Chains A and B, each alone.
Chain A
């Protein structure tokens, strides 16, 4: 990320400590993660030590200090979704994508994340792929979602043989 871009974001809110969260959110929004150079630039301009910004970046779940994949796959782990089987979905996605929950594939194609409730509880369990919500999921329906990601799950098109 260019320092000019970071400066632009800082201008949006003002180079003040109270604006730090918003600045970090916008950087994450544009770069898909929080690159170290961006953070050091923020520290310089806002006048806070790196230890403080690092603390913020690791405290809030919204931020990632590692580059994230091109496709972000998020599984909601809210109570309603849990009761309807969300952990099985995470397990299946982790298996098929080959990455643990919270991880990113080596080729930076996929990131699998969990989030503690997106507020679409009536549609649980829910998987969000690149911002699109897929509700009423089951391990079987996941196959279609994974196709969208370009991943073929084990036995994806399996039909009963009569």
Chain B
């Protein structure tokens, strides 16, 4: 493979790739994101290849990045018609090839059927989940094999880099990014252009650009999908950034828990180097820039920029005071620009289509799109990309399809451990950095967790506090001891040992933790507990005053019993009970011995749904 030593060479290669491709070519795209892989899509891909060969069919089988609709995986799209299939199994492979690929026939049982209207969708755009999205970043995932740089070039990849290097000055690129008002997608929402400017103008060399791919928010997997599905988009963004800022060395700090993304990234970096799109004299422009990959070690706090940089330096990730900004003195005390994966992935689009176009999407203060991981108690779980300004209600209901099992919406949690829970009354809030912060939550990196009546908000607060007290670096007394004590109080409340004055103490202590801690982990840590106390105070009071858990979650406040009218005496729960707490004989109503019951829920989940005789009260 010859290195591309000029912009013309890149264009020639692109023309050649596009020319080689027959738009009418038959192809089967199989989603190979982590979600679908867990559902068996690797075997599915192999099955397609094997069967196609056996049938002597000329069809391309292409594993692609995450399509986003994880709930319905494994996902398959048949080209050229772009027929969309969900929950495809190995046993369906032959039929898909013979009927759909061979004859263009649509197989009904593999189509998406709307659970409410019963309507079937043939193409991806018809599926309600996708219809309301604007998939600028994620859209390409379905079209390319992420391990093929040629696929990326074929859809226009590296056009933005070429344009920036040869048609624009560094100042002009900076102007575009500033005018676009691209705000950090990692959670901070800080204008990327302002960061770039600060770093570009800072004194000192070398300068560094970093991609924060640590994605520590539990419940968020947007960055993972971008890296697994389209790693080159991130690389392209970083090279453009390096050109603008004047950097020759970049880093991608990626979470240890993402082995597939790491693998795809390494392949992409290697092929970019081979093609002269990374390394020395990129495309013959004179720009030298290369990227190193650093793996995280399993520490949420290393998603904080100063901790991340210390980790790269070989130190523990204890954030440091940022009275001197990172853009002036960051990694190795040199000017450093750090941005999130999704932020970098937006850069090529802004360069190609201009800041004017970017600003036409979104709200006054929040431009462009945002990717969210819509998960939890929602029908259509998966990754969604929406224009800023869409309401939470539309995301949860129009895209998410509402709450499963006819449950009732209770809250939606955004912003991860730094964010808050918003109740039904706030569902009409638009997705916007400032609106969400004003409401007591925050945009965060994009995790959006839907909760229903079976979720206990005190338990949720305790969960986040438990997470944070372990992930805190432990330096500041306010964060380390404060979170420990906040957890203790919520724990007591969940065990029925809450006291009058606990809520006031939570509020007082939270204020200190937020105000007097060094970094944003401590600074935002009280948000989950504060927002739940604010919006669900009644639930807390039920736990404290009545020693009741209305959602039926807190073990010490609930009891499991068997409804005598429903129980048929089938013995399943008795056999599965780990503490021998169920008394009963065949065909006779079973009874739970409360003194032995450990509230493990096994009986509740084991009782066949047609009877559902186990009751939680």
A touching B, CB within 8 angstroms: yes
Contact in complex: A160, B571 (CB < 8 Å):
yes
Q: How many angstroms from the CA of A63 to the CA of B575 in the assembled complex?
A: 38
The 8 closest A-B pairs by CB, nearest first: A60-B297, A122-B70, A61-B298, A78-B218, A119-B221, A155-B575, A160-B570, A155-B576
B9 interface hit (Cβ, 8 Å): no
B79 interface hit (Cβ, 8 Å): no
Q: How large is the interface on B (under 10, 10 to 19, 20 to 34, 35 or more residues)?
A: 35 or more
Once A118-B257, A154-B578, A162-B570 are accepted as A-B contacts, the answer to whether A82 and B463 lie under 8 Å apart by CB is: yes
- The 8 Å CB contact of B463, one of A79, A126, A155, is A79
Contact in complex: B219, A121 (CB < 8 Å):
yes
Contact in complex: B219, A117 (CB < 8 Å):
yes
Contacts of B479 on A, CB cut-off 8 Å?
none
A31 interface hit (Cβ, 8 Å): no
B 569-607 contacts with A by CB, 8 A: 569-572, 574-578, 586-587, 600-602, 605-606
B224 interface hit (Cβ, 8 Å): yes
Contact in complex: B451, A83 (CB < 8 Å):
yes
Per-position binary interface string of chain B over residues 32-73, scored 1 when its CB falls under 8 Å from any chain A CB and 0 otherwise: 001101110000000000000000000000000000001101
Q: How many angstroms from the CA of A77 to the CA of B257 in the assembled complex?
A: 13
B536 interface hit (Cβ, 8 Å): no
Contact in complex: A79, B602 (CB < 8 Å):
no
Q: How many angstroms from the CA of A84 to the CA of B463 in the assembled complex?
A: 13
A1 interface hit (Cβ, 8 Å): no
Contact in complex: B70, A155 (CB < 8 Å):
no
Contact in complex: A83, B297 (CB < 8 Å):
no
Once A18-B312, A18-B313, A25-B256 are accepted as A-B contacts, the answer to whether A119 and B215 lie under 8 Å apart by CB is: yes
A44 interface hit (Cβ, 8 Å): no
Counting chain A CB atoms within 10 Å of each CB, the highest count among B73, B298, B473, B586 belongs to B298
Per-position binary interface string of chain B over residues 400-427, scored 1 when its CB falls under 8 Å from any chain A CB and 0 otherwise: 0000000000000100100000000000
Contacts of A79 on B, CB cut-off 8 Å?
218-219, 375-376, 413, 416, 447, 449, 463-464
Q: How large is the interface on A (under 10, 10 to 19, 20 to 34, 35 or more residues)?
A: 35 or more
Once A121-B381, A122-B382, A159-B572 are accepted as A-B contacts, the answer to whether A25 and B449 lie under 8 Å apart by CB is: no
Once A82-B463, A83-B449 are accepted as A-B contacts, the answer to whether A92 and B571 lie under 8 Å apart by CB is: no
Inter-chain pairs besides A119-B221, A120-B221, 16 sampled, C-beta below 8 Å: A18-B312, A21-B295, A60-B297, A63-B298, A79-B464, A83-B376, A88-B600, A88-B601, A117-B217, A121-B70, A121-B375, A122-B221, A140-B606, A158-B575, A160-B570, A161-B572
Contacts of B317 on A, CB cut-off 8 Å?
59-60
A 109-140 contacts with B by CB, 8 A: 115-124, 126, 133-135, 138-140
Q: How many angstroms from the CA of A53 to the CA of B219 in the assembled complex?
A: 31
Contact in complex: A80, B219 (CB < 8 Å):
yes
Per-position binary interface string of chain B over residues 197-237, scored 1 when its CB falls under 8 Å from any chain A CB and 0 otherwise: 00000000000000000011111110010000000000000
Counting chain B CB atoms within 10 Å of each CB, the highest count among A81, A84, A115 belongs to A84
Once A62-B297, A119-B258 are accepted as A-B contacts, the answer to whether A55 and B316 lie under 8 Å apart by CB is: yes
Contacts of A91 on B, CB cut-off 8 Å?
600
B502 interface hit (Cβ, 8 Å): no
Contact in complex: B600, A139 (CB < 8 Å):
yes
B531 interface hit (Cβ, 8 Å): no
Contact in complex: B216, A117 (CB < 8 Å):
yes
Q: How many angstroms from the CA of A56 to the CA of B586 in the assembled complex?
A: 57
Contacts of A161 on B, CB cut-off 8 Å?
569-572, 586-587
A45 interface hit (Cβ, 8 Å): no
Contact in complex: A17, B449 (CB < 8 Å):
no
Q: How many angstroms from the CA of A90 to the CA of B572 in the assembled complex?
A: 21
Q: Of all chain B residues, which has the CB nearest A115? A: B257
8 pairs, CB–CB < 8 Å, chain A vs chain B: A21-B295, A24-B297, A56-B316, A79-B218, A80-B219, A140-B576, A158-B571, A162-B570
Per-position binary interface string of chain A over residues 88-112, scored 1 when its CB falls under 8 Å from any chain B CB and 0 otherwise: 1001100110000000000000000
Q: Of all chain A residues, which has the CB nearest B576? A: A155
- The 8 Å CB contact of A123, one of B35, B216, B255, is B35
Q: How many angstroms from the CA of A79 to the CA of B411 in the assembled complex?
A: 13
Q: How many angstroms from the CA of A85 to the CA of B71 in the assembled complex?
A: 17
Q: How many angstroms from the CA of A57 to the CA of B564 in the assembled complex?
A: 55
Contacts of A116 on B, CB cut-off 8 Å?
216, 218, 298, 300, 467, 471
Q: How many angstroms from the CA of A59 to the CA of B571 in the assembled complex?
A: 47
Contacts of B587 on A, CB cut-off 8 Å?
161
How distant is B310 from chain A, measured CB to nearest CB, in Å? Answer: 11
Contact in complex: A135, B314 (CB < 8 Å):
no
A 5-60 contacts with B by CB, 8 A: 16-22, 24-25, 55-56, 59-60
Contact in complex: B602, A140 (CB < 8 Å):
yes
B377 interface hit (Cβ, 8 Å): yes
Q: How many angstroms from the CA of A62 to the CA of B348 in the assembled complex?
A: 34
Once A120-B35, A122-B35 are accepted as A-B contacts, the answer to whether A139 and B312 lie under 8 Å apart by CB is: no
Contact in complex: B219, A62 (CB < 8 Å):
no
